[in-house]
Amino acid sequence: MRLRRYVVLGAAAGLAWSGALRGWMVLLVGADASVVSWRTPVLVLLPGAAVGGLLGWGAGLRAAGRRPPRVLVLAPGLFAVALLDPEIARSLVTDGQGSGALVVVVTAVAGGHALSRHEWSRTRVASATVAGLGVATMTGMGTMAGPPSSSRGAAAAALGGSLMAVLCVASTQAHPADVVQPARPGRPDGMRS
């Protein structure tokens, strides 16, 4: 029952996140050019709810002291479903539009990996670099809405970057939690003799 609550809350958070992402897309192209069709719920909102539910499941498993399945780290990959639309896939190949879905996936997976532990390794530094570049890319894409000095450009830049940063933090829930070794009796610092 408790695990189900994590999944439902995660799905609701994922739906809210993807709704905000859709709002960011409207800021980029303008309300007059933005069109709501079957693509909005199928390619944006449902994947957001699914990713949120999966990450919520990971959070519930972590809270119960269990290890999330390894494949769960790829949950943000569901955002790539947008590329199954032939029109978006064709646009990606011909003029690069639609690559935002790939940026979201790569940034979220790399960010979840980089932020999931306290110690740093070469792979974690590489993941942090990729995630940082992804957040910067989404922030920079906000300037498509207008110059950064304009309110619309600044809002689109701030929203894009913050949405990616939030997804990176949420993606840590797919990774096993750090386990702190309990201190041994008589040794308050947890050191072993």
The answer to the question of residue 185 being in a domain is no
- For residue 39, give every residue at least 6 positions away whose Cβ sits within 8 Å of its Cβ, in sequence order, or none: 82, 85
More confident: 187 or 117:
117
The answer to the question of residue 11 being in a domain is yes
Say if residue 71's pLDDT is above 90.
yes
How far apart are the C-alpha atoms of 102 and 83, rounded to whole Å?
9
The answer to the question of residue 193 being in a domain is no
Say if residue 131's pLDDT is above 90.
yes
How far apart are the C-alpha atoms of 51 and 13, rounded to whole Å?
10
Q: Average per-residue pLDDT in the chain?
A: 86
Average pLDDT on 148-155 reads: 90
Say if residue 171's pLDDT is above 90.
yes
Q: Give the pLDDT of residue 33.
A: 63
Quote the tokens at residue 39: 């693509």
Query: pLDDT, tens digit, for every residue of 172-192?
Result: 999 988 654 445 555 554 444
The answer to the question of residue 110 being in a domain is yes
Say if residue 128's pLDDT is above 70.
yes
Question: Exposure of 119 by Cβ count < 10 A (0-12 exposed, 13-18 middle, 19+ buried)?
Answer: exposed
Q: Give the pLDDT of residue 5.
A: 96
pTM: 0.83
More confident: 144 or 95:
144
> Are 114 and 164 in contact, with CB atoms under 8 Å apart?
no
Question: By mean pLDDT, which of 65-79, 139-153, 160-174 is the weakest?
Answer: 139-153
Query: pLDDT, tens digit, for every residue of 6-43?
Result: 999 999 999 999 999 988 888 887 767 666 676 777 78
Say if residue 115's pLDDT is above 90.
yes
> Are 117 and 178 in contact, with CB atoms under 8 Å apart?
yes
Name the residue range of residue 60's domain.
2-83+95-174
Question: By mean pLDDT, which of 52-61, 63-72, 158-167, 170-179 is the weakest?
Answer: 170-179
The answer to the question of residue 132 being in a domain is yes
E-strand ranges in the chain read: none
Helix (H) or strand (E) holding 96: none
> Domain total for the chain?
1
- What is the DSSP secondary structure assignment for residue 48, as one 8-state letter? H
CA angle 181, 167, 148 (to 5 degrees): 130
Helix orientation angle between 2-29 and 151-170, rounded to the nearest 10 degrees: 150
The answer to the question of residue 23 being in a domain is yes
| Cα dist from 142 to 34, 42, 137, 164, 182, whole Å | 15, 24, 9, 12, 46
Half-sphere exposure in the Cβ direction for 4 (13 Å, CA): 1
The answer to the question of residue 13 being in a domain is yes
The answer to the question of residue 88 being in a domain is no
